[in-house]
Amino acid sequence: MRFIIIFLISLSCVACQAPSSSQQQVTNNAEQWDLLLDPELTRWDNYLSYRFEPGYDGSKPNADPIGLNQPKGDDVFSTFEENGETILRISGEVYGAITTQAEYRNYHLKLKVKWGDIKWNPRKELLKDSGILYHSVGPHGAEYWRSWMQGQELQIMEGHMGDYWSQATSAMDVRAYTPEYIMNPVGSTDQPFLSVGHKEDIKGLVIRSDNHESDAGEWTEIELICFEGQSLHIVNGHVVMVLKNSRYEKEGKIIPLVEGKIQLQSEAAEVFYKDIEVQKIQKLAPEHQALFTDP
18 falls within a domain: no
Average pLDDT over residues 65-94: 96
Write down the pLDDT at residue 30.
Answer: 58
28 falls within a domain: no
What is the total count of domains within the chain? 1
220 falls within a domain: yes
pLDDT for 30-56, tens place per residue?
Answer: 559 999 999 999 999 999 998 888 888
105 falls within a domain: yes
Average pLDDT over residues 183-188: 97
CATH classification at residue 186: 2.60.120.560
Of the candidates 64, 68, 92, the residue with the CA atom closest to the CA atom of residue 78: 92
Average pLDDT over residues 121-125: 94
Do residues 67 and 98 lie in contact, with contact meaning Cβ atoms separated by under 8 Å?
Answer: no
17 falls within a domain: no
Average pLDDT of the chain is 90
139 falls within a domain: yes
3 falls within a domain: no
Structural domain that includes position 91: 34-52+66-292
Rounded to whole angstroms, how far apart are CA atoms 88 and 98? 10
Q: Is the predicted pLDDT of residue 165 greater than 70, yes or no?
A: yes
21 falls within a domain: no
Higher pLDDT, 9 or 109: 109
Average pLDDT over residues 167-195: 96
Given the DSSP bridges, would you call strands 44-48 and 96-100 parallel, antiparallel or unpaired? antiparallel
Of the candidates 204, 184, 98, the residue with the CA atom closest to the CA atom of residue 143: 204
Percent composition of the chain: helix, strand, coil (DSSP 3-state, to 5): 15, 45, 45
